[in-house]
Amino acid sequence: MTLNKIRTIDVFGVPTDLGANMRGTNMGPAAVRIAGLKRKILDLDYTVVDQGDIKVPVREEISPDDTKQNYLETIRDVCRDLSDKVFESHQRGNLPLVLGGDHSLAIGSIAGSSRYHQSNNNKLGVIWVDAHADLNNPISSPSGNIHGMPLAILLGDGDKRLTEVATAGNKVLKPEQVTIIGLRNIDGKEKELLKNSGVNYYTMRSIDEKGMYTIMTEILSEMTKKMSAIHLSFDIDGIDPLFAPGVSTPVSGGISYREAHLALEMIADTKLLRSAEFVELNPIQDQAHKTAELTVELIQSALGKSIV
Ligand SMILES: [Mn+2]
């Protein structure tokens, strides 16, 4: 099946911070909307349908049992719901754009995209921009926070209740489908998990050595050869905190403002982007809305905004 040109963007907010210790990413979707998301996507000549927010229970009302297990069952329910909505958006021929929320939501969004592409025999490549590898499992994780585990879960490593949502009755994501960019903070045990995972990855050191242009050329020439659709999972903490202070887990030495735009413009040039999430924006940590505005600009670049 050939993929048609995308005309309509479906926006979904996932106001959750249940995957993290730090509160606040639940306000991310509102901050991105306030920064003018819809108007700025309309400027790029798409139709935009804001589908509103996925329902996420408030932390204070979640049962003590689920609180003790880092909200695992609540996160499962949210991800299941998101997975269905993302799947339906693809079926309508639209591009689901998911606003986080912490990165645990990627379990649901990628499950939905993966299910759609598998049922249409499209090969899906995933580009994961992040300071962290998000490859922890319940044994390796120092904190137990689920936002440190979504990529592991999508690859089939993790609590069964979540890996079942991730696969959504289909085959699990294969490591060769995934490329991580921007790594610079990996927990002790997670280093081995990353090296043994089989995913492609580019640390900040390789960005320093080769430059973002060379790296993205490498990644995208492989993806355009092997894949027929790209999903972008963009953790805002991949960007240097100088430009993106409004995240829950800032790590200095990250991707610069221009490097981020270049990477996204190059992804847009492939015309293969079919779904995306922008996650971990934390308005409590932000400075005068700077990171929310940056997020909207990054979304514009990913959707094809060019300087000329
Ligand atoms: Mn992440």
- Residue whose C-alpha is closest to residue 255's, from 135, 152, 127: 127
Tokens (6 digits) for 90: 């693809």
pLDDT, mean of residues 208-218 = 98
Query: Of the listed 77, 157, 235, 240, which one is catalytic?
Result: 235
pLDDT tens digits, 92-112: 999 999 999 999 999 999 999
Q: What percent of the chain has pLDDT over 70?
A: 99
Higher pLDDT, 169 or 297: 297
End-to-end CA distance of the chain: 32
pLDDT, mean of residues 208-237 = 98
Active site residue 103: yes
How far apart (Å, rounded) are the C-alpha atoms in residues 120 and 137? 30
Confidence of residue 2 (pLDDT cuts 50, 70, 90): low
How far apart (Å, rounded) are the C-alpha atoms in residues 262 and 259? 5
How far apart (Å, rounded) are the C-alpha atoms in residues 308 and 300? 14
Active site residue 117: no
Please, what is the Cα angle at 231 between 95 and 269, to 5 degrees? 80
Q: Which residues have C-beta under 5 Å from ligand 1, the single-atom ion?
A: 103, 130, 134, 235
> What is the pLDDT at residue 172?
85
The pTM of the full predicted model, rounded to 2 decimals, is 0.97
> What is the pLDDT at residue 1?
44
CA of 131 to the centre of ligand 1 (A): 7
CA of 295 to the centre of ligand 1 (A): 15
Phi and psi at 278, nearest 5°, equal: -120, 115
Active site residue 240: no
Quote the DSSP letter at residue 281.
B
Query: Of the listed 103, 117, 231, 261, which one is catalytic?
Result: 103
Residue with tokens 């202070």: 245
> What is the pLDDT at residue 308?
84
Confidence of residue 90 (pLDDT cuts 50, 70, 90): very high
pLDDT tens digits, 29-66: 999 999 999 999 999 999 999 999 999 999 999 999 99
What domains can you pick out in the chain, each with its CATH number?
8-302 (3.40.800.10)
Active site residue 237: yes
The size of the chain, in residues, is 308
CA of 148 to the centre of ligand 1 (A): 6
Active site residue 176: no
